[in-house]
Amino acid sequence: MKCLKFIVKIVTIISIVCLILCVFKLNCKNIKVTRANENGKIYDNSEISTGGEIIATCGECICKPVLKIYYPENGINSKGFYYLKDGLLRIKFNGKDSGISDVSFSISDNLTKEVLKSGSLKKNNKNEFVSSGDDCFKLYDINSYSYGVSYGKDTDESKDFNMLMGVFYLESFSKKIDIYISIRDVNGNEVSDKNTYLVDMDKPNLNVSYDNNNSYNDIYYNKKRTLNINIDEKDLNKNKVTLSINGEDVKFSNIYGIDSKENNGNTIYQTKYDFNEDGDYYISLICEDMAGNLSDTYSDHFIIDKTMPDIKVSGIENEKSYNDKIVPVIDFEDDNLDNKSMVVKLIGNKNGEIVLDNKMIEKNKITLDIFDFKSEIDDIYNLKLEAADLAGNRVDKSILFSINRFGSTYDYNDLKVLNHKYINKAKDIYFTEINVDEINLDNVKINVSKDASQMVALTKDDYSVIKNKDDKNWAKYTYIIKKEIFDEDGKYSISVTSRDKANNLNASNKGLSPMDIDFTLDTKKPSIVSLNDFSYRISDNFLVRDVRFFVNDKELEGEKLSKIKKIRSDVYNIEDMNISGNFKIRACDMAGNICEKEFVIDNKKDSKKGSIAPKDRDIHKSASVFNGLLKKEKIKNVGKVINKKINSGINKIKDIRIKVLICIILILLIFIVIAIKMRALKIKPSNFN
C-alpha cells in the first residue's frame, strides 16, 4: 500500500511537470515581432514600414529571443531599402545568461540573389558564442561598445547587462544587398529580420562657379551674377540642397540631373541662382544625399552695386551766366563711394585751369567759395566733376557757366587755329558772344582793318549771325564773317561791339573777356633771286620761316651748312662751298607757302672751267658759274657787239636806199598825172611861157 501511494505521488509530480512544460511551450510558440522607432512607439507586423528598430520577444518572457536592429535615422526610402552612410549595421539581442543558442546571417546580392557572405555564432559548453564563416559580423559587450557619432545609447541600456551588440561591417559592398538575420533559443524559438540596404559612404561633390568674375576691390561687382551649381552625386536628396543668403535659406525649385558615364556612373545635378539686385550678400551652400552624407560647405561674400554714383551741384546751373556772388556746392552720393576717385576741375577759357586751394571738403561735400568780385574772375568756366564707387561704376558731369558781371563774354575757340597766325587761304571767321540777356542785333557793329588802316564797318551782307537760346534765357550768338571780305594779302584785325537789353555796351576787345582777333593772309610764295657770283636773295612779302639747301637732293647739315654765310637777313652767300651737281634752295614762309629753285652747277675750286644750266623755267643761272665763264664770255661779247653794229649799219643803208627809190617813184607818178591833165585840157607847152 505504501509503495502504491509513492508511485501515485511520483506520477502526479511528473504530470504536473509535463503540464507546466506544455503550457510553457505553447506560450513560446506565440512570438510577436514588433518595430519601435526612436520615440518608443510600437507597431505590429502590418505596420512595419517606417524604419527605426525591430524588437522580437516571446510573450512577456524576457529569457526568450529578443532582437533589436538599429536602422538608419532617415528610415526606409520610397524604393524599399535603407541607406547606410557609415557602412555599419548594428543589432542588439539578449545573448548572455539566456536560452539563445545561435545567431546566423547571410548577405546576398539584391539583384541576382547570390549569397555574398554568410556566417553564424553558436554557444559552446562554456556559454560563449563562437563565430564561424565570414568575419564581417562581430559581437561586443553592450557596455563596452562605442556607438559612434550617429548612434547614441538608449537611456536604460546600461541596466540591461544581458544584451549583446552585433555589428555588420559592410564598407566593401558597393551595391544593394539583402541581409537576413536569425536568432534561436535552445527550445527552437526563432526571431528573424530581412531587409535591403545600400552602402553609400561618399559625400556629394559640390562645385560652384559664377558667370561674372569681373570684380573690383576684391568683392565688388557692377553687374548681376549667376551662381551655377553642379553636384556630382548618384543619389542626391533634392530637398536637402540649401542655399543660405544672409541667414535665410533658399530652396531650389528646378534641380535637374544629367547622367554621366565619365563620373563613375554618377549623375551631375545642376541648378543656378541669379543675384540680380544690388546688395551685400553672405552666402553658404550645402547639400545632402539620400544616405545623409553632407557635402563640404561652400561660403562666399560679395557685393553687387550696379548703381552709378550721383553728383548733385547746387549754387550754379548749366549754361547760365551770373552777375553776382556764387558759391557752388558739390555733393557726391553713393553707398559704396570711393573717396579717392572724386575729381573737381575748374577751367576758364581765359584763365585756364584754376587751382582750387581754398575749396572746403566735408565728407563727400565740396564747397567752392572762390569767386571774388573782380573783373579778372569773369570768364566762361567749365566745371568738370568725376566720381566712382568701389564697384567700378564711374560717372562724370560737366557744367558750363559764365560769370558775367561786366557785360558780354566772347568765346573764340574756333579762332584758335588762325588767331595771331599766318594763313595762306582765306577762311570764314567764327566767334561767339555770350550774354545773360539778349543782344539787340541792330546795334551790333563788326569792324575790320587791313594793315593797321582805319577800321571799316561791315554791312549785314558781309556777315551772318546764328542765334541760340535755351530755357534758362541764356543768349548765345555765333558770328560768321564771310571769307570774301579777305580778298587781299595783309594783316587783318577784327572787333565787335554790341548792346544788350540791360543797356550794357559790350566790346570784344574790352571788358570781361577782351578778344583781339587778328591774322595775316599770305597767299604768295617766297622769292629766290640770284644776285651776283655767289649770292642769293631769299625774301617774302611777310616773313620767311625756314630756308633749306640741298646738293644732289641731300640736305646740307652741320659743317657743310655752316659754309653758307648769311650776309644780310635775306641774302645768302655760297662762295666757300665746293659744289658740283644739283643745287636746290627751298624756302617756306610763315603761312606755309613753299618755293623751290634748283640749279645745275660746277663750282669746284680746282676746276678751270664752270658751267651752269637751269633745269626748269623758274630756275635762275648760278652767279658763281657765270663768273667762271666771264673772260671767254667777254671776248665773245665784243665780237657780238661789232657784228651787231655792222649789221645795224647795213640795215640803216638799206633803209635809206629804199626810201630814195620810193621818193623817185612818187615824183615820176606826179609828173605823169600832170601830163595827162594838160593833154586833156589841150594846153600847149608854150603856154607856160
93-122 pLDDT tens trace: 776 556 778 888 999 998 999 999 998 888
Extract the runs of DSSP E, i.e. beta strands, from 147-204. 163-169, 176-185, 190-199
CA angle 126, 169, 35 (to 5 degrees): 80
Closest among 52, 83, 70, 72 to 177, alpha carbons compared: 83
Q: Which DSSP symbol is given to 262?
A: G
AA identity, residue 212: N
Give the gyration radius of the chain's Cα atoms: 61
Run of H or E residues at 646: helix 630-681
Parts of the chain with a pLDDT under 70: 1-9, 11, 15-64, 95-98, 142-162, 257-265, 413-414, 416-417, 470-474, 502, 511-515, 533, 602-655, 680-689
Q: Which residues contact 237 (CB under 8 A, 6 or more apart)?
A: 287, 288, 289, 290
Closest by Cα among 97, 104, 68, 92 to 143: 92
Per-residue pLDDT, 656 = 75
Q: Detail the DSSP E strand segments found in 59-147.
A: 67-70, 82-84, 88-94, 100-109, 115-123, 129-133, 137-141
Rounded distance between C-alpha atoms, residue 535 and residue 528, angstroms: 11
The per-residue pLDDT for 372 is 85
Secondary structure tally for the chain: helices H, strands E = 4, 50
Report the sign of the C-alpha dihedral through residues 40, 45, 51, 55, in that order: positive
Q: Which strand (E) or helix (H) includes residue 382?
A: strand 380-388
Q: What per-residue confidence (pLDDT) applies to 258? A: 62
Does domain 29-199 bear CATH number 3.40.50.2300?
no
| CA atoms of 313 and 593, how far apart (whole Å) | 51
Q: Sort strands 571-573 and 580-589 into parallel, antiparallel or unpaired.
A: unpaired
Q: So where are the chain's domains?
A: 29-199, 205-304, 310-403, 409-521, 527-628, 641-689
Which of helix, strand or coil describes residue 414? helix
Q: Where are the alpha helices (DSSP H) in 586-629?
A: 623-628
- Taken in order 58, 62, 64, 65, the sign of the CA dihedral is positive
205-304 — its CATH code? 2.60.40.10
Alpha-helical (H) ranges within 129-278 are none
pLDDT at 216: 94
- The span from the CA of 15 to the CA of 7, in Å, is 12
Q: Of the candidates 435, 438, 488, 495, which has an alpha carbon nearest to the alpha carbon of residue 463?
A: 495
Topology agreement, domain 29-199 and domain 527-628: yes
pLDDT score recorded for residue 633 = 38
Tell me the fold of 310-403: Immunoglobulin-like (2.60.40)
In whole angstroms, give the CA distance from residue 161 to residue 319: 98
The single-letter code of the amino acid at 241 is V
CA distance linking residue 213 with residue 620, whole number of Å: 75
Question: Cα–Cα–Cα angle for 44, 162, 196, nearest 5°?
Answer: 45
Which CATH fold topology does 409-521 show?
Immunoglobulin-like (2.60.40)
How much of the chain is in helix, strand and coil states, percent to nearest 5? 20, 45, 40
DSSP helix/strand/coil, 105: strand
Q: How many residues does the chain have?
A: 689
Closest by alpha carbon to 139, among 179, 93, 193?
93
Per-residue pLDDT tens digits for 260-279? 545 566 788 888 899 999 99
Q: Which three cell numbers stand for residue 366?
A: 565740396
For the segment 485-535, what is each residue's pLDDT rounded down to a tens digit?
998 999 999 889 998 776 778 888 775 556 678 889 999 999 998 887 678
Q: What's this model's pTM, rounded to 2 decimal places? A: 0.52
- Mapped onto helix, strand or coil, the DSSP state of residue 263 is helix
Produce one character per residue of 600-609: b if its CB has 16 or more CB atoms within 10 Å, e if not: bbbbeeeeee
Q: Do 88 and 152 meet the contact criterion of CB atoms below 8 Å apart?
A: no
Give the pLDDT score at 58: 38
C-alpha cell, 671: 609828173
Cα 566 to Cα 534, 544, 569, 603, distances in angstroms: 12, 14, 7, 19
8 A C-beta contact, residue 310 and residue 335: no
**Euclidean distance between CA atoms 308 and 393, whole angstroms:** 5
527-628 maps to which CATH number?
Answer: 2.60.40
Report the C-alpha gap between 175 and 233 in whole angstroms: 15
